Amino acid sequence: MDIKLDSLTGKSKSARIGKINVKVGDIIKTNDILLQLETNKGNSPYKAKRSYTIEKIVVEEGEEVKVGDTLFVASGEEKENPKQKVDYFANMLKGKKEELEAELLVIGAGPGGYVSAIYAAKNGLKTVIVESERLGGTCLNVGCIPTKALVRSSEVYNDVINGEEYGFEAKEVKLNVGKVIDRKDKIKESLVEGIDYLLQKNDIRLIKGEAAFIDNKTVIVKKGKDEYTIKAKNTIVATGSKICKINIPGIELPFVLNSTTALSNKKLPKSITIIGGGVIGMEFAFVYANFGVAVNVVEYADRLLTMVDSDISEEIKRIAVEKGINIYTSSNVTKIEKSELGEAIVIFKNNEKEKYLISENVLVAIGREPNIGELGLDKAGIELNANGKGIKVNSCLETNVEGIYAVGDVNNVIQLAHVASHQGMVAVDNILGNKKEMEYDCVPNVIFTAPEIASVGASEAQCAAKKINIKISKFPFCANGKALTMGAEKGFIKIIKDLDGNRIIGASIIGADASSLISTLTLIIKNNISEEKIIDTIFAHPTTGEVIHESVLGLSLGALHYHE
């Protein structure tokens, strides 16, 4: 039989064949990805509609095809008969029950879960993964990736409306928020499909549904009337986190958004008040400000971004205020009300004085908490952390129950996607018998404000608390040629050296390309690379990476391209 291209996304009339994922002789199952199709709407996978064996591949990578063209010749199509159809329909009514066994069961398919599963499968473990919602978890669907898509759109828009600085004028620039959201969704869907493809290619069984422990070796998964009982030699819990419930009167009003609903809001407000000056709040603050929205940020602490050093916090506040963002620190929101005109009124206390802000929307951007839900941890005997928030684990990511591990936000150690992924790999290594402990002294952290902020290793505040004898070297981006060409002269890099240990122990950046530069600094600190070796390294010119070289020079001889 011929396998033909039956449809294309959107209004595309033709597509180009991307990567072909199968070869002659492959036995194909329903929903297996056969190849990738490239259209003007982007890339999309072409999946099998039924089971068969590939006899011939008719097309080649790079070839243009249209609807109706033959892609493959296949054999072995399963015949249906009326009796089977009736039996199948009856089974659907009463639900399907299945019992499975696995060497590793992973509960949750976010960056902690799906990385654990793929790493385990590549190491030869028979792996099953369970997900109640969408592959990719919070990070891919309503977190890291979607927010960065909005960050990029806002940057492009801001550059265009300020094009005169770069030598051109763009008149009547029109922002289409619907298309901004559509682009975000398209990127998200592409990555979700990519994870699905990787799970299939690594022979990982994916089961959709809600998982709960029956005992320490058995998990039941329910979806509608379907029920799966999984007996696993080892289990990794990777169920992530959820938005914290904040007790603020008026938080349920229709104009109040959270970090999830804001990502799908196709109506751009003229003004917004953001409750929370942490990572989520400040990333959204710059996104909205770049889109021309009047932004207020109300933060309970005495400064923004309390996880970074105070000089970084002060610099981003200065840049935010210069951008037109109104900042209110040491401010406690007491309630949200609706005005006579339907506007939002945010009432807060600052220095014992009651104040209020009026805006079209409110965004509550205050934290996340471990998603333990209805996992039935007590039936498996799994203990929680001392504060009851998150699953208690040791340095190998194992819980108090042998063979059960917890990775990512659900253990509440560090809520970062890349930490979750690395924890997953460490957990699998221990399951394989390769003793490995998780280390947290060199975890990079990135905040996608404008400019970006990134840090790794010890902070200045931590060094002061531990009374470490340090030397600090700073180098400004205004002295970097590449940063000036980018129109990104704001910010600086800071390097911290332990004088007694004679090693670099920490670094922070606020400036252009901080999210990329931090990887180099992580390698330096993680592998204890000496400042002499860094100085002897040739850094390409003109690049923002040169700020690393200059700041390390500043620890001894002094920077070559800057003098205070």
Q: What is the pLDDT of residues 112-151, one digit of tens each?
A: 999 999 999 999 999 999 999 999 999 999 999 999 999 9
Residue 162 lies in a domain: no
- Residues 69, 106, single domain; the answer is no
Mean pLDDT of 295-323: 98
Q: What is the pLDDT of residues 183-209, one digit of tens each?
A: 999 999 999 999 999 999 999 999 999
Which of the 8 DSSP states describes residue 391? B
Cα distance between residue 300 and residue 48, in whole Å: 53
Which of the 8 DSSP states describes residue 409? G
**CA of 241: how far to CAs of 194, 260, 351, in Å?**
22, 13, 33
Residue 417 has pLDDT above 80, yes or no: yes
Mean pLDDT of 233-242: 97
Least confident stretch, 33-37, 214-218, 506-510, 544-548 = 33-37
497's tokens = 């050296």
Amino acid type, 305: L
In the prediction, which pLDDT does 104 show? Answer: 98
Give the angle subtended at the CA of 296 by the CAs of 295 and 297, to the nearest 5°: 120
Asked if residues 255 and 361 have their Cβ atoms less than 8 Å apart, the reply is: yes
Q: What is the pLDDT of residues 439-485, one digit of tens each?
A: 999 999 999 999 999 999 999 999 999 999 999 999 999 999 999 99
Look up the CATH number of the domain holding residue 479.
Answer: 3.30.390.30
In the prediction, which pLDDT does 92 show? Answer: 54
The count of residues in the chain is 564
How many CB atoms lie under 10 A from the CB of residue 213? Answer: 22
Q: 3-state DSSP call for residue 139?
A: helix
Tell me which residues are annotated as active site: 541
Asked if residues 511 and 493 have their Cβ atoms less than 8 Å apart, the reply is: yes
- Residues 193, 217, single domain; the answer is yes
- Residues 102, 224, single domain; the answer is yes
> Phi/psi of residue 391, each to 5°?
-85, 135
How many CB atoms lie under 10 A from the CB of residue 155? Answer: 15
Residue 438 lies in a domain: no
Q: 3-state DSSP call for residue 547?
A: helix
Cα distance between residue 167 and residue 149, in whole Å: 26
Residue 564 lies in a domain: no
> Phi/psi of residue 340, each to 5°?
-65, -25
Residue 149 lies in a domain: no
- Residues 232, 197, single domain; the answer is yes
Amino acid type, 293: V
Cα distance between residue 324 and residue 449, in whole Å: 14
- Residues 396, 501, single domain; the answer is no
Least confident stretch, 42-51, 60-69, 154-163, 498-507 = 42-51
Mean pLDDT of 521-532: 97
Cα distance between residue 392 and residue 456, in whole Å: 25
Q: What is the mean pLDDT of the chain?
A: 93
Q: What is the pLDDT of residues 487-496, one digit of tens each?
A: 999 999 999 9
Q: Check the CA dihedral 481-485-489-492 and report its sign.
A: negative
Note the Cα 61 to chain centre separation in Å.
31
Look up the CATH number of the domain holding residue 284.
Answer: 3.50.50.60
How many C-alpha atoms does 342 have within 13 Å on its Cβ side? 2
- Residues 383, 355, single domain; the answer is no
Amino acid type, 280: I
- Residues 68, 9, single domain; the answer is yes
Which of 343, 365, 387 is where one domain is finished? 365
Look up the CATH number of the domain holding residue 24.
Answer: 2.40.50.100
Cα distance between residue 202 and residue 429, in whole Å: 17
- Residues 217, 104, single domain; the answer is yes
> What is the number of structural domains in the chain?
4
- Residues 456, 544, single domain; the answer is yes
Q: What is the pLDDT of residues 22-72, one digit of tens each?
A: 888 888 888 888 988 877 656 678 888 888 899 899 998 888 888 888 999
Residues 322-352 as b or e (16 or more Cβ within 10 Å = b): eeebebbbebebeebeeeeeeebbbbbeeee
Residue 419 lies in a domain: yes
- Residues 405, 474, single domain; the answer is no
> In terms of residue numbers, what domain contains 311?
256-365
Residue 93 has pLDDT above 80, yes or no: no
Q: 3-state DSSP call for residue 187?
A: helix
> Phi/psi of residue 250, each to 5°?
95, 0
What percent of the chain clears pLDDT 90, i.e. is strictly above it? 81
Residue 416 lies in a domain: yes
Cα distance between residue 359 and residue 338, in whole Å: 10
Residue 6 lies in a domain: yes
Give the angle subtended at the CA of 453 by the CAs of 319 and 563, to the nearest 5°: 70
Q: What is the pLDDT of residues 227-237, one digit of tens each?
A: 999 999 999 99
Give the angle subtended at the CA of 311 by the CAs of 309 and 314, to the nearest 5°: 110
What percent of the chain clears pLDDT 70, i.e. is strictly above it? 95
- Residues 357, 345, single domain; the answer is yes
Residue 169 lies in a domain: no
In the prediction, which pLDDT does 8 show? Answer: 80
- Residues 285, 360, single domain; the answer is yes
